Chains A and B, each alone.
Chain A
Amino acid sequence: MCTRARRLIVSAAGLLLATQVASAGGRQDRSIPPDQERYVSAQLPNIALTTSTGTATDLQRVANSRPLLLAFVFTRCTGVCSPFLMSWRTADQQMSRRAGVARLVLSFDPRDKPADMAEVARHLGVESDPAWTFGVAAPEDIRRLTQTVGFWYDWDESRQQFDHPAMLAAVRDGRLVRLLITGTVTSGRLDELVREAIGEFIPSYPLPGRARFRCFQYDARSGRITLDWGFGLLLIPVFTVSLSTAIMFAAGARLRRTGQT
């Protein structure tokens, strides 16, 4: 191979590798919600924070060995923060297992003060509920914590607002176990989140009526599994091959009888 061609191949390979390396870095894509798979099991940094009552504490002490539900908001939000928190509070009140879970709402806006967060707690009507904690933390600590759980926020100068997702993170033993990314928290989804945070196995199942040929039907209410039409497709290989083998050997026997082998 001539030197020029070899150089061309080496350059192309180098360029390809450089492109790959460049594309591997860079910031998170804002057009898609945080990907739970990338962050699950991440160890949360034990950041210092100040609660809405002015108490200095940290993440570990707030959790106090309990599963923790964590959300990030900012008090000047004119968008999703307030309806998101309201729906969480409403779903929370409908839950059967409310005890034993810590709830923490942190502001990611450096302008927010403990008093602002106290106002949010009052607005939600949980200011005297010890299960709820509202707080602020140093901007660099907030940055570290949000990056660990896949939450992002960008200042939009034109709207004078932060652009950010609405997200609830479930934490067990200081590690992220599940994310719920939604503007409206429903009691069913919150129940799954809490159960996951406690350490229960959360089965997932497809919505009924979507798949035409299903092996089994799972009734989420009764927990029963029944055979469905798709199971018949599992039998096709055995029947097809049994039949074709029988035909093949019958044809072979016929050839032998007629001496044509």
Chain B
Amino acid sequence: MTLVAEPVAVDTYTPRLVRLTFTWVLTALVLFPVLAVLGFLMRVLQAGFLASVPPEWFYAVMTLHGLGMVGLWFVAGMAGISVLLARYVRPTLAVSWIAYGATLAGVLLLLAATLIGRLGVGWYFLYPLPFHSGGTWPGWATASLFAALAIMGVGWTLWAGDLLWAIARRYGLSEALGWQYLRGTGTPEVPPIIIIATVSFIGVLAGLVAAVVVLALVAFEQFTTGFTNDALLIKNLTFYFGHMLVNITMYFGVAMVYEIMPAYTAKPWKSNALVAASWNLVLFLVMFAYLHHLYMDFAQPEWLQVTGQLASYLISVPAAVVTIFSTLVLVYGSETKWKLPSLMLYLGVMGWAIGGVAAVIDSTVAVNSRFHNTLWVPAHFHTYYVMGVVLMILGAVFHLATELSRVSESLASTRAIVTTVGIGGYGFLLMFYLAGVAGVPRRYANYPVEAAQGIFYAKLSLIFIAVLLAGALIYIWETGRRCVRALAV
């Protein structure tokens, strides 16, 4: 039995836009399994296998896996949003190509820094660690990292700026933020993706400006004498940037759900006062939510720690709860066509909910003092990434690829993908959660006897990761051939 893709009007997608979009998609589909295998390798080392591999390799792989995955899903989200926005506004394709070139250059520098230079600073390269390698990595590896960040930062800033400019050319700021719904007029009508995209691009640009400040301060210290940076200031700015990018990546996924899901439920998902209010609140709260990364910094004043906890709690209401309930309402009582994209989008929202609950638990100061730096932390962020935003983006990509290639969906491969990704994904995450509750520390290349439980959970997780990877490979094959076909058409 086959599920036939519904042909929809594709006039919006010009050949140049299709070529650009699928270049991004195919690049992501190549990088995704490579970075996932690096994650598998980390768990192999933590499981006690390949004991002869020195720990510094673990940290180099961890850095590449973390930075790579965060960057990969951010650009995949940006590319997805760009193509969906093309239904309403006209972004400049050349800017997206510049961002693509900058991303490739950044990836090459990161590969050199980690795989050749053995840079092991973790995905948030916390100052002053990159400059104190203790002989583990050379100075040029640190320089490569910051050069990669600078190049990608410039490309992404231009990209986000251009997309926001495209919205600004068609809508006023108050319209793009949906204030007409708050005023009760409701006109002109603006689709939810415009509101979410506007909020997201403002957030992205703020995060990237924070990265610029970090780079400037670090460069100033390196190239002058007698100037020392305040580690707490750099940490605040780094997490402002890092947390913002990760948060916004999730919002890109959510925007795709808003835009694509109605095609399968046959029920419109329009903007209203609730949607507008919630995303405006997100824009405000996302500026403070990062503070939960600094609970352990005793020099951070208590009022900021309280702000961090409140923002972390409150931000889950407008973005997550409103979206989750809206998704349920959209699906409830509808004749939803459960194809691979709708299944992935729906499961992605639910994964986001599960990961979100785990995140809110960890953002509670009293809990964080126990869970901080345990495997609970990777557990929650892998949940809303792997089983959340990644599913949303991959669902949207499959939707586009099927729509443009007109290749029918196979029920057998859909079942295989959903089953393997579901079992493999949640099994892999469960091992993280159980280890986290047992207090197994994160970022350990190998576990001492006191944390020997970590070895057991790492071994079990290998089975689930293998299942998850099998599902990912089926997906990549199915989507990849559709992308190639769409490009040929």
Contact yes or no, A214 B233, CB < 8 A: yes
CA distance A218 to B230 in the complex (A): 12
Interface residues of B: mostly helix, strand, loop or mixed? helix
**Known: A213-B217, A218-B299, A249-B168. Is A20-B232 also a contact (CB below 8 A)?**
no
Q: Which residues of B contact A6 (CB under 8 A)?
A: none
**Known: A203-B298, A245-B202, A248-B165. Is A215-B172 also a contact (CB below 8 A)?**
no
A27 to chain B, nearest CB (A): 15
- One digit per residue, 1 when the CB lies within 8 angstroms of any chain A CB and 0 when it does not, for chain B 34-74 equals 00000000000000000011111100000000000000000
**Chain B, Cβ-Cβ closest to A255:** B169
Whether a CB of chain B sits under 8 angstroms from the CB of A253 is yes
Whether a CB of chain A sits under 8 angstroms from the CB of B360 is no
- One digit per residue, 1 when the CB lies within 8 angstroms of any chain B CB and 0 when it does not, for chain A 202-240 equals 010110001111111010000001000011011011101
Q: Which residues of B contact A256 (CB under 8 A)?
A: 169-170
Whether a CB of chain B sits under 8 angstroms from the CB of A261 is yes
Whether a CB of chain A sits under 8 angstroms from the CB of B236 is yes
CA distance A255 to B170 in the complex (A): 9
B204-212, B382-390, B411-419, B426-434 - interface stretch: B204-212
Contact yes or no, B209 A236, CB < 8 A: yes
Contact yes or no, B168 A251, CB < 8 A: yes
CA distance A206 to B234 in the complex (A): 14
A23 to chain B, nearest CB (A): 7
Whether a CB of chain A sits under 8 angstroms from the CB of B229 is yes
Contact yes or no, B202 A241, CB < 8 A: yes
Whether a CB of chain B sits under 8 angstroms from the CB of A54 is no
- Give the interface centre of B55, B164, B168, B176 by most chain A CB atoms within 10 Å: B168
A200 to chain B, nearest CB (A): 13
List B171-192 residues whose CB lies under 8 Å from chain A: 171-173, 176
Contact yes or no, A248 B230, CB < 8 A: no
Q: Which residues of B contact A8 (CB under 8 A)?
A: none
**Known: A251-B168, A252-B165. Is A237-B228 also a contact (CB below 8 A)?**
no
Contact yes or no, A248 B164, CB < 8 A: yes
Whether a CB of chain B sits under 8 angstroms from the CB of A95 is no
Contact yes or no, A234 B173, CB < 8 A: no
Q: Which residues of A contact B287 (CB under 8 A)?
A: 238
CA distance A245 to B57 in the complex (A): 43
Whether a CB of chain A sits under 8 angstroms from the CB of B240 is yes
CA distance A41 to B206 in the complex (A): 41
Contact yes or no, B213 A236, CB < 8 A: yes
Contact partner of B230 (CB less than 8 A), chosen from A21, A211, A240, A255, is: A211
Contact yes or no, B229 A249, CB < 8 A: no
Contact partner of B299 (CB less than 8 A), chosen from A216, A238, A251, is: A216
CA distance A20 to B118 in the complex (A): 11
**Known: A20-B54, A245-B164. Is A205-B299 also a contact (CB below 8 A)?**
yes
Contact yes or no, B164 A213, CB < 8 A: no
**Known: A21-B54, A24-B54, A234-B237. Is A244-B213 also a contact (CB below 8 A)?**
no
Whether a CB of chain A sits under 8 angstroms from the CB of B133 is no
Q: Which residues of A contact B325 (CB under 8 A)?
A: none
Q: Which residues of B contact A203 (CB under 8 A)?
A: 298-299
Q: How large is the interface on B (under 10, 10 to 19, 20 to 34, 35 or more residues)?
A: 35 or more
**Known: A205-B299, A230-B233, A249-B176. Is A241-B205 also a contact (CB below 8 A)?**
yes
CA distance A200 to B217 in the complex (A): 34
Whether a CB of chain B sits under 8 angstroms from the CB of A9 is no
Contact yes or no, A225 B230, CB < 8 A: no
Whether a CB of chain B sits under 8 angstroms from the CB of A246 is yes
**Known: A234-B240, A244-B205, A253-B172. Is A210-B233 also a contact (CB below 8 A)?**
no
Whether a CB of chain A sits under 8 angstroms from the CB of B333 is no
Whether a CB of chain A sits under 8 angstroms from the CB of B11 is no
A interface with B by C-beta (< 8 Å)? 17, 20-21, 23-24, 41, 201, 203, 205-206, 210-216, 218, 225, 230-231, 233-234, 236-238, 240-241, 244-246, 248-249, 251-253, 255-256, 261
Besides A233-B217, A251-B168, 10 other A-B contacts (C-beta < 8 A): A201-B298, A216-B300, A216-B301, A233-B237, A234-B237, A241-B205, A245-B164, A245-B205, A249-B168, A253-B168
B interface with A by C-beta (< 8 Å)? 52-57, 161, 164-165, 167-173, 176, 202, 205-207, 209-210, 213, 217, 227-233, 236-237, 240, 287, 298-301, 448, 450
Which 6 residue pairs spanning A and B have beta carbons closest together?
A252-B168, A249-B173, A214-B230, A211-B230, A237-B209, A237-B206
A-B contact pairs, 26 of them (CB 8 A): A20-B53, A21-B54, A23-B54, A24-B54, A41-B448, A211-B228, A211-B229, A211-B230, A212-B228, A213-B229, A213-B230, A214-B232, A215-B233, A215-B300, A216-B299, A231-B233, A234-B240, A236-B209, A238-B206, A245-B164, A245-B173, A249-B176, A252-B168, A252-B169, A253-B172, A256-B170
